[in-house]
Amino acid sequence: MDNRAVQRHVAAEWRKPDLREGFTTGACAAAAAKAAARALLTGESLAEITVDLPARQGVTFHLARCEIGSSSVLCGVIKDAGDDPDVTHGAEIQALVAWQDARGITLAGGEGVGTVTKPGLAGEVGEPAINPVPRRMITAAVNDEADEAGVNLNRRGMLVTINVPGGAEIAQQTLNPRLGIVGGISIIGTTGIVKPFSDSAYRGSIYVELKVAAENGVRQAVLTTGSRSEAYAQARYPNLPEMAFVQVGDHMDYALRQCRRLKFPQVMIAGMIGKISKLAEGRMQTHVSRGGVNMAFLADLAGQLGADAALVARLQTANTARHVQTMLNKAGIAGLEAQLAQLAARHTHTYIQGALVIEVLLYDIRGDLLAAAQEPAE
């Protein structure tokens, strides 16, 4: 068992033994699409389908329906979130796959799938709220079935429409209306797996991971806000052992305290603008329940960088932190990311009373490093 496996195994002791994992809406959509494509190609009704997810191979989903029409098939999968308190648990994620004259695979959002109406989100304005990883999963699943059947989709394509009956009502219990996603839920997920953690279990996992790293001689802890920022930090520090990287989510406050307790000489913090902007404001607990991104704070910083009053006013009503970045880029105003990284480093350094070297790395969604800042130990 390698170090990372040991780390995860020990951390698992902090989880409830009966806590069940579930599957993301993206995984369910990919499974439904794969089943519908196979049934369309073979004419045979299915009861279940096996798909490969980013984080797990060979996962079998039972189908709630497989309805074969003359030129289309509708399949559905019931979303099982495991023991995670997910409002989409129990929803039916459907895929309607039909032949089309256009080449390739076209992905559309149907009933109950939201539409992006504001900039700054993963999708473009006017597109269905199907995030990039689920898009790739769905497309790959349908392509695999076409390849298996020997069908060239460059001659005759397929239209894949994702539906979630009741999705518009479910979405009212999410942040979608506030974010400008209207008409339904988002199809999301980066791994395909929902890992249910209580706050105490998650913090316990963070502590054990840090403790294992410290006891194995790791001198630099890299705290990341999620899987993407972890991957970006790993690319920047390829010589650090895998156990040096710990996903802390919204619990930066707890992780920093444990780093001080375990006497790490240096801590790197890697994240994207949303989380880093909260740290820059001095908010060490970054969960949305403690408040979203403070657009007034970002607008004030932009004003210090030369934004005029009209732009500052528009920034105060921006949809997301990334939307702020886009507006500033269009206005030719640079320096926001550097300022945020410096402020985040300063506040986190103060939070642990200057006991450690702090470095903050601010990435964009593609993994480009936008800014870095460091505060020395006192």
Which pLDDT value is given to residue 284? 81
Alpha helices, DSSP H, located in the chain: 3-11, 25-42, 132-149, 167-171, 176-179, 199-215, 227-236, 252-261, 273-280, 295-304, 309-315, 321-331, 336-351
Distances (CA, A) of 299 to 275, 317, 341, 370: 16, 9, 16, 18
Which pLDDT value is given to residue 37? 98
Which pLDDT value is given to residue 15? 44
Under 8 Å between Cβ of 352 and 363? no
Q: How many CA atoms lie within 13 A of 243 on its CB side?
A: 24
**Residue 312 backbone dihedrals phi, psi, to 5 degrees:** -55, -40
Which residues is 157 bridged to in the sheet? 100
DSSP code string of 67-94 = EE-SSEEEEEEE---TTS--TTTT-EEE
Neighbours of 6 (CB within 10 A): 13
Tokens of 330: 């269009």
Which pLDDT value is given to residue 71? 94
Q: How far apart are CA 259 and CA 92, in angstroms?
A: 43
Q: What is the CATH number of domain 22-194?
A: 3.30.2110.10
Which pLDDT value is given to residue 177? 83
In order along the chain (378 residues), what is the average pLDDT of each group of 10 residues?
Answer: 43 53 95 98 97 94 97 97 86 98 97 89 90 96 97 96 98 83 93 74 80 89 94 95 90 94 96 94 73 89 96 94 94 96 96 94 95 92
Task: Enumerate the domain spans of the chain.
Answer: 22-194, 199-375
Q: Quick check: helix, strand or coil at residue 129?
A: coil
Tokens of 212: 């294992």
Which pLDDT value is given to residue 286? 64
**Residue 167 backbone dihedrals phi, psi, to 5 degrees:** -65, -35
Which pLDDT value is given to residue 209? 86
Which pLDDT value is given to residue 20? 84
Which pLDDT value is given to residue 206? 86
Long-range contacts of 173-176 (CB under 8 A, 24+ apart): 173/87, 174/87, 175/288, 176/114, 176/129
Strands 157-163 and 105-109: parallel
Which pLDDT value is given to residue 25? 96
Neighbours of 175 (CB within 10 A): 11
Q: How far apart are CA 138 and CA 153, in angstroms?
A: 15
Helices 273-280, 321-331: axis angle to 10 degrees equals 90
